[in-house]
Amino acid sequence: MVAAAFVAWLGAALVVLADGRRGQALGLALLTAALAVLAWPAGMAFGAVAIAIGGLVAAARCWRSGPPTWAIMPAGSTPRLVLCIASGLLALWVAASLTTGTGAPLRFTVLVVVGLMGARIQMSREAPVVMTAIAAFALALGVAPGLAPTAPGPVAAIVGALIAGGVMFVAAGRARLAPSSAEKDGA
């Protein structure tokens, strides 16, 4: 289970660090596999299958949108690397020391993926990159009910999988998102 949490962090880190579609797709595929593995023992067997299908559809669609490169850690990505390492250490500390009970790998994964994807959504203007981050965010929120002491139903995982798979079909093409008001003012 700890290995699956590490793979989830690695996949989320790839989504944050990559600007090309191949790096994004690989990160989303790793994240999907890890979330499905972590959701299964949390009482979400059907939800784990839904997460796997939705995430793999999103990863396959991601492979076809955006620049056809890997573009992992392009120039200027040092702040993103620091973000990935710091968020992983902070989430590990919270999951291992500040919370009690079983399910620390799933707690770690939900914390780190939601944090990293929220940051990636805020820092990017490339539509395919933002869509990939939204898909990963939805997958993480889909498995979050697995943190409950009783077995949750598969509804959240199914909705998360549908959002993850569906958001990648939004006609964003290679367009850039609108610049922020600070960018317009030259700040």
Least confident window among 55-64, 76-85, 97-106, 176-185:
176-185
Angle between helices 21-39 and 104-123 (to 10 degrees): 150
Which is higher by pLDDT, 182 or 36? Answer: 36
Q: How far apart are CA 145 and CA 89, in angstroms?
A: 23
pLDDT in tens, 86-102: 988 887 777 777 666 67
User: The pTM is what?
Assistant: 0.84
pLDDT of 180 > 80? The answer is no
Q: Tell me, what's the pLDDT at 100?
A: 61
